[in-house]
Structure 1
């Protein structure tokens, strides 16, 4: 719009500026206009009031934790009510989303959430899923879940997820994946997570691996996994015991129902692999 174009001329423009910002560890200088920023954002308004109360109206406001590029996007939206994100990376968009929420700019939060939904791919869905969970963004999380569950066979890197989120995935009835592939995913993720946290895999994998439905596998596949498990112990012994019991006694004899995964099989049942009847 014409208005947005005219307002953009004031963006980081020293002309008639009455506030300065020093952004990032190198304290890059930005110019702003208090009346615009205060009208658009309560956090900025509070900063300016605080400056007045401390009689520091000529001192630059220092935001060392924020990146200059992110701050520039923030100012662009506040001045023009528009933002061009085509050239921004997923990481930049996520950082800006967190800032929008921190600064209480809900309209920008909605724009960024929608943009991330359109950006979803097998390469970034885990990062966006974890972000949505961390920030409490239900709509974004639900879109990630839908995408992730249908494409999990083709996703190679789950390292952005923490243990809580990995358990949420592995416990789902709706995953379009077989159990052998799911074990591969858990094992690869566990190695990465262990390297990041310096915690041995067997100490955090039990709550995740207990959701595996090993009773769906052939006996030779279970035996193969059991042998592999001797190296890292990521699958609890009782999960293997239940699988062998099912093969020996059948589902009714084992007192357990194991539902194949996928939309055509999914039901509203408890998500534990060992759905024992009590």
Structure 2
């Protein structure tokens, strides 16, 4: 009788250690890369890269490139490229807060989904007041919904502190809109509006655009209807001089106060978790209902 075959796993750590020695090694290497602005030469092994990465497989299949010609990788930093090679060779990677975003970008570009997952996991586990906005921006930029959910959940719990950080001011309009769409933010609308105004001033300076043009892309997601009548009147007077908020947005808030009609689909009248209670909120549905 034929013995039943069993699939047994050995210790992966020694294997990874031995394979790491081959990264950028001259031993048996058969391909060279010229990497980054510094044009650093990095050696590799064609069969390993092709077997682990479809992008490299397609690259090597290009018959227009002679076998002994180096491949120029000008759009990636040499240190980041070596980290990516480390993962390809060993299935392990050395990440830190300085390289993880560039490694994530390369993982997506090279179709290395497991490396992408590892980077996202590292970022999710490392979320802090000072890093959550950068993680949120990366999630939005690279379409990483799982990271976006976790970064937003952190921001929702620490909204008042996070919105005062330089990281918040560096967010793209799309990322700011993703945050403002949440009803779980733990900040009152006055604080949210102040943070958005400060964000607009910083971004207007960076993009050399007027503040009122920059803020238009996000201010409609600030729930002005949650401000009390006196607060709204004060805002309207200030806006007459600054012209930072569209008149239509303020008019819509006044319409709510006049009619006090709220539709479930109208996010402008949905209370947030951190909204301070006001008499004008009577009849509005709490954020968690």
Bin for the TM-score computed over the shorter chain: 0.7 to 0.9
CA deviation profile, 1:128-175 (whole Å, cap 9, x unmatched):
212112211111111111111221100123233222222232232221
* 2-structure distance, mates of 1:25, 1:73: 17
For 1:97 and 1:223, the matched residues in 2 are separated by: 47
Q: Check the 8 A contact 1:129/1:145 in 2, yes or no.
A: yes
What are the residue-to-residue correspondences of 1:68-147 with 2, within 5 Å? 68-85=78-95, 88-90=96-98, 92-147=99-154
The counterpart of 1:196, out of the listed 206, 212, 219, is 206
Contact 1:12-1:31 within 8 A present in 2 as well = yes
Cα deviation for residue 28 of structure 1 reads 0.5
Q: Specify which of 48, 66, 78 is matched with residue 36 of structure 1.
A: 48
1:255 aligns with 2:261: yes
Aligned length: 259
Gaps of 5+ in 1: 269-278
**Given the alignment, which residue of 154, 159, 163 partners 1:152?**
159
Match status 1:226 vs 2:236: yes
CA drift at 1:213: 2.9
Matched position secondary structure for 2:183: coil
1:196-247: CA deviations, max 9, x gaps?
Answer: 3222222242353233333433444334433433443222223334445555
* TM-score, normalised relative to structure 2: 0.81
The CA distance in 1 between the partners of 2:85 and 2:222, in whole Å, is 48
- Report the alpha carbon displacement of residue 3 of structure 1 after superposing the two structures with TM: 0.4
CA distance in 2, matches of 1:55, 1:227: 67
Q: Does the 8 Å contact 1:173/1:265 carry over to 2? A: no
Deviation at 1:260, TM superposition (A): 2.3
CA RMSD of aligned residues (A): 2.3
Q: Which residue of 2 aligns with 1:276?
A: none
Secondary structure in structure 2 of the residue aligned to 1:111? helix
Report the CA distance shift for 1:96/1:256 in structure 2 as closer, same or farther (over 3 A). same
What TM-score, normalized by structure 1, do the two folds share? 0.84
Q: Give the superposition deviation at 1:11.
A: 1.4
Take 2:110 and 2:73, find their aligned partners in 1: how far apart are those partners?
13
